[in-house]
Amino acid sequence: MSAKQKKNRTPRGGQRPGGDAPLVKWVIFFLLLSVVLFAFYATYLDKTIRGKFEGKRWSLPAVVYARPLELFPGMALSPRELEEELQLAGYRRDRKAVDAGGYDRRGRTFHLVTRDFRFPDGPEASAPYTLSFAGNTLTAITRADNSSAVEGLRLDPARIGSFHPSQHEDRILLTRPELPELLIKTLLAVEDRNFYYHPGLDPLAIARALIANVRAQKTVQGGSTLTQQLVKNFFLTNERTFWRKINEAIMALLLEAHYDKEEILTAYANEIFLGQDGNRAIHGFGLASHFYFRRELNDLSPAQVATLVGMVRGPSYYDPRQEPKRCLKRRQDVLEIMLAEKVIGKPAYQEARSAPLATQTMAGSGLNRFPAFLDLVRRQLAEDYREDDLTSEGLKIFTTLDPRVQRVVEQRLAATIARLEKRSGKRNLQGAVIVTRRENGEILAIAGGRTPGQPGFNRALDARRNVGSIIKPAVYLTALGKGYTLATPVEDTAFTVPNAGGKPWRPENFDRTTRGRIPMYQGLAHSLNLATARIGMDVGVKSVVQTVKNLGVPGDFPAYPSFLLGAASLTPLEVTQMYQTIAADGFYLPQRAISSVLAADNTVVKRFDISTEQRFAPEQMYLLNTALQKVVREGTGAALANYLPASYNVAGKTGTSNDLRDSWFAGFTGDLLAVVWVGKDNNKPAGLTGGEGALLVWGEIMRDLHPQPLELTEPEGIEWRWVNPNTQETSPTPFWFAGNQVKLPFTAASLAEPNRTVGAEKTQESREPSAGGVMQKILDWFK
């Protein structure tokens, strides 16, 4: 073999010397590249962790509260009503009330322990009380610890809803000192015994889980640390992929490198998912304690702690309400671990083992107990707060909602509409109700439909319906401001209003009859269209439109004559604002559903104080409200006598739109104002007048609420006179031989002016046969 052949000969193995050098270089290159990429990726994950963990970790929803229940001896309140309030506020019924948030009842005596609560005007500490009843009256309140008499007691309010971000998560944030040691020790014993010793990953736990799962031939044990579980819940998704497990491991190590164990443990306790309440996700042990047991976390028994910790593995699978047997078995497993790890002793273990699950049902505890009311709250808050503030800053919204009033409104609206459907044969009737406090405009209850617990179209706020005769008090108020009196003669006779280029307007009374000359108050009391239209045309339609605006109704209305009889569309809320001004004696009170807003740290952000503006003279309002009382005593609202005695002196007005499409009633007592609408969503005839539909709902509601009688405050300058309804003459003393005479209030100035007759110049050519003619006058002589 030549030297050249020897030089070119390939060694055995098929490779030349030094031929693997490029491969080694490539391997090293890829290893270095992987390290660099891993470093970049780890840096990215590190930035993600620190950015979220050091910033605002959770978007806290705004929590909305009802008004607090204020109790005092002599208060009209039944034991049943008190217990309903306590249940709504999240109090639990115990065998013996010992811990905060518990109560027991023995006949007509209640023992309860209030909860610590931060009200807008300051904190109030938990204390035990005894409440005694006689009939439906609260007779005495005493401190159970020292037997001292108490003049007044304020209970923490019911939580009625929340404004959540899109993920609908809810939690009660707790600090590390607020986490009970019993919970922490149990959690670590069950989920991560080496928590304080591993760097985020626990190889021993992973090995134990692997062996256990191989032996069982299925997954029976997990090897994830609490840190890994926190990373999965807080940063990652629940998808089961290899790449997610890699991310979880890296992020767990990074989290442990930056933050101490106590901070990680606290975050875990606030983040862990523990159940579902409708659309609302229950996160954290703090909220879960309230949701399942109506207790503060530090008041839980060992059995209850074991229940919550056992649910960490699968909140739905071990749901104590849906899967009690499965949950009880899981609780027993946790209790055995607690005993083995010396978290509890033998006596405590035996007691916990025999304890029932004892979960408490939170009736209606979802996102929104009263959707129509919360809809209004959200709209009013939107005037001052961004949507992000409402869903992420943990605001505490204190509202004016009265749960007792709301409950009555919901029950009576649904029951009365069902009865109306059965009686009239009509179907698909709907309704809306708003109840306010007369003296300050606080909205106490709203029903947006006959099934008010279901969210949907809010008729109380958004249903724009023809108001019919409910608008008429504005006509009479305008006239009273221009010197008319309640006794001013008015011709209730037919007439025609020309309409250039259009069809003339010819109003008619509801019963197609006329009544001739009547005192003005009767036009309102009996809701006479002809008399009202004559008055409105006399004072000017534009003036009436301005009165409606001054009463608080927003918007512009064309000054057409038909407006005088209610040819305008308003929402029940707008009608309520109009009557709020009337009920408040001419003072404009913007209606409000919110009293205060607190930040997450309990500092007061805003108080919604009462603002008033006097828009009408007291004398005007006194005369108008006297006439509205006549509506109920002798006019279209007389059917209220079936619900409330005459001594209540209710003032109100019925309203009916064309073709019986809308049935309205607005009325007020000494302390409450309510507006009711009944009709159909498709605007087809409901077949009900205001007195046949809405008035019945109003009466049922007020009968259950036991309102205060209405006592109008008579302003200075009012003088009373007897009025002969046949001649419209007035006298300080009763008339001889005059039937149906009535005593009415007048302003002193109006008595000095000559009386006028509305429509007198048109009566000769347009008068029709009258229901109150000459024969009626002759008969009056013999009454």
More confident residue, 304 or 247: 304
Angle, CA of 280, 286 and 290, to the nearest 5°: 70
What are 103's strand-pairing partners? Answer: 93, 112
- The pLDDT tens digits of the residues spanning 484-532 come to 999 999 999 999 998 877 889 999 999 999 999 999 999 999 999 999 9
- The pLDDT tens digits of the residues spanning 97-113 come to 998 999 999 999 999 99
Average pLDDT over residues 661-669: 98
- What are the tokens at 67? 């008004």
> Residue 254: pLDDT band by 50, 70, 90 thresholds?
confident
Extract the runs of DSSP E, i.e. beta strands, from 206-292: 273-277, 280-283
DSSP state of 585: T
Q: Check: CB of residue 103 under 8 Å from CB of residue 156.
A: no
- What are the tokens at 608? 């919604």
Q: Which pLDDT does position 767 carry in this prediction?
A: 35
- The pLDDT tens digits of the residues spanning 538-566 come to 999 999 999 999 999 998 899 999 999 99
> Residue 21: pLDDT band by 50, 70, 90 thresholds?
confident
- The pLDDT tens digits of the residues spanning 154-178 come to 999 998 988 876 567 788 888 899 9
Q: Which pLDDT does position 206 carry in this prediction?
A: 67
d(CA 559, CA 536): 11
Q: Which pLDDT does position 384 carry in this prediction?
A: 83
d(CA 295, CA 359): 10
Average pLDDT over residues 613-618: 96
Coil, strand, or helix at residue 189? helix
Sheet of 396-399: strand order equals 159-163, 62-65, 396-399, 594-598, 604-607
Residue 434 has pLDDT above 80, yes or no: yes
> Residue 55: pLDDT band by 50, 70, 90 thresholds?
low
Q: Which pLDDT does position 33 carry in this prediction?
A: 64
Q: How many Cα atoms sit within 13 Å of 130 on the Cβ side?
A: 15
DSSP 424-452: H---S-EEEEEEEETTT-BEEEEESSSST
Residue 701 has pLDDT above 90, yes or no: yes
- What are the tokens at 187? 């959690």
- What are the tokens at 596? 């205060």
Coil, strand, or helix at residue 692? coil
- Mean pLDDT of all residues belonging to the chain: 86
- The pLDDT tens digits of the residues spanning 395-411 come to 899 999 999 999 999 99
Q: By C-alpha distance, which of 656, 268, 204 is closest to 471?
A: 656
Average pLDDT over residues 221-250: 73
- The pLDDT tens digits of the residues spanning 182-196 come to 999 999 999 988 899
> Residue 382: pLDDT band by 50, 70, 90 thresholds?
confident
Average pLDDT over residues 286-298: 89
Q: Which pLDDT does position 772 carry in this prediction?
A: 40
Alpha helix positions (H), 55-152: 79-88
Q: β-strands 742-747, 718-723: how paired?
A: antiparallel
d(CA 291, CA 305): 13
- What are the tokens at 633? 């005593």
Residue 666 has pLDDT above 60, yes or no: yes
Exposure string over 397-414, b if 16+ CB within 10 A, otherwise e: bbbbbbbbbbbbbbebbb
Residue 215 has pLDDT above 70, yes or no: no
Q: Which residues are catalytic?
A: 191, 469
Q: Which pLDDT does position 167 carry in this prediction?
A: 62
Q: Which pLDDT does position 218 carry in this prediction?
A: 53
DSSP state of 758: B
Q: What Rg, from alpha-carbon coordinates, does the chain have? A: 37
Alpha helix positions (H), 272-370: 284-293, 302-311, 324-340, 346-354
Residue 455 has pLDDT above 80, yes or no: no
- The pLDDT tens digits of the residues spanning 702-735 come to 999 999 999 999 999 999 999 887 777 888 888 8
Q: By C-alpha distance, which of 169, 362, 395 is closest to 280?
A: 169
Termini Cα distance of the chain: 156
d(CA 707, CA 483): 34
Beta-carbon count within 10 A of 119 CB: 16
Phi and psi for 292 in degrees, rounded to 5? Answer: -95, -30
- What are the tokens at 334? 């946790």
Q: Check: CB of residue 147 under 8 Å from CB of residue 32.
A: no
Q: Check: CB of residue 501 under 8 Å from CB of residue 771.
A: no
Residue 415 has pLDDT above 70, yes or no: yes
Residue 781 has pLDDT above 50, yes or no: no
More confident residue, 727 or 134: 134
Residue 774 has pLDDT above 70, yes or no: no
d(CA 300, CA 294): 10
Q: Which pLDDT does position 163 carry in this prediction?
A: 82
What whole-number percentage of the chain has pLDDT above 70?
86
More confident residue, 551 or 771: 551
Highest mean pLDDT among 245-254, 385-394, 739-748, 766-775: 739-748
Residue 364 has pLDDT above 50, yes or no: no
Q: Check: CB of residue 158 under 8 Å from CB of residue 65.
A: yes
H or E stretch covering 388: helix 387-392
